[in-house]
Amino acid sequence: MEVGKNQQPRHGGLKVSALALGCMGYGKSREIEDRAEMITLIRQAVERGGDFFDTAAVYGPWTNEEMVGEALAPLRDQVKIATKFGWNIDQRTGDHLGGVSSRPDQIRRAVEGSLRRLKIETIDLLYQHRVDPEVPMEDVAGTVKELIQQGKVRYFGLSEAGVNSIRRAHAVHPVTALQSEYSLWTREPETEIIPTLEELGIGPVPFSPLGRGFLTGKIDVNTTFKSNYLRGNISRFAPEAHKANQALVDLLRRAGERLRAIPAQIALAWLLARKPWIVPLFGTCKLERLEENLGAINVDLGAEDLSEIESVAGAIKVEGDRYPPEHMKRTGL
């Protein structure tokens, strides 16, 4: 199975594979037990045609960037690497100090650290991980613009930003991509975000396109999560919400039976069919799941399929929030 490279360039000409691999779940502790296995998985994704990989300074912190850098070092000319700045991290120790920080000096130090850990000379796509309400967006975009002029960054992106922040950043330097949570059970971006991106020529990179695993159909009412897992603190996964939200999985499963595809493939294919320049960003730690998700490229959702999904999904009220309250405070600014 290969990843089709059918995504059209948006601002600045960045062209990537139709699906991106999010590496957040790899090596998030200081001691990485699965390091060799995850490096192999990343390289196998490249073998199958993937060329767009996503990490961030805060993942670990730092251990994830180091591992991604090691994995992709021998394949650098075949891939695009995206990373992020914006959380308040002690640049000497790597300790996460809580909250966000996009002060210009912090951005510059973060970029130097990311370049070193990723073992690269230029970051292909640099995202602001979360908007910092204490720093004017014009200062953030201006700093990234300087880094682009210096050759340390190629393209500028935002993550979980609202329309106002997108427009303010874009007025200083073209924004190439925006990460937002977007899937069949998180459709809020369709109201303002997606139309704004289309107007400005910015590429959407939806994260959690499988609803943090819920839309795969492999999570049931008896599934438990480790205490430190985000899903365990999200009300959408609570037993009382599961019954209502299961209707989306049932819808994906029915479509998959007709098209000989699994629910995850239908969920990804639905996003790919929304716009030709949407690049879903999924994560997995297993080769089997990697190959399944890449198989979404070959799922052809016809007009009738899309109409049915739209009709049924539109009548389903998703129960629960997509983040705990403290996380929601950092989104849509």
Task: Using DSSP bridges, classify how beta strands 20-22 and 123-128 pair: parallel, antiparallel or unpaired.
Answer: unpaired
Name the percent of the chain lying above pLDDT 90: 74
61: cis peptide before it, omega within 30°?
A: yes
Q: Is the CB of residue 275 less than 8 Å from the CB of residue 204?
A: yes
Q: How confident is residue 1, by pLDDT bands cut at 50, 70 and 90?
A: very low
Catalytic residue positions? Answer: 59
pLDDT digits (tens, 9 = 90+) for 122-140: 999 999 999 999 999 999 9
> Do 214 and 223 meet the contact criterion of CB atoms below 8 Å apart?
no
**87-89/96-100 β-pairing:** antiparallel
DSSP alpha helix (H) spans, 173-320: 193-200, 239-259, 263-274, 287-294, 303-314
Look at 10-14, 18-22, 149-153, 308-312 and tell me which has the smallest mean pLDDT. 10-14
DSSP run (H or E) holding 87: strand 87-89
Hey, how many other C-beta atoms are within 10 angstroms of the C-beta on 5? 14
The pLDDT value given to residue 311: 96
> Over the stretch 196-228, which tens digit does the pLDDT of each residue have?
999 999 999 999 999 999 999 998 777 766 655
Predicted confidence (pLDDT) per residue in 249-292, tens digit: 999 999 999 999 999 999 999 999 999 899 999 999 999 999 99
**DSSP at 57:** T
End-to-end CA distance of the chain: 39
pLDDT at site 119 = 97
Q: Which domains does the chain have, with CATH numbers?
A: 11-211+271-300 (3.20.20.100)
For residue 54, give the nearest of 90, 82, 18 by alpha carbon.
Answer: 82
In this predicted model, what pLDDT tens digit does every residue of 32-69 receive, in sequence order? Answer: 668 889 999 999 999 999 999 999 999 988 889 999 99
pTM: 0.94
Token couple for 131 = 């908007």
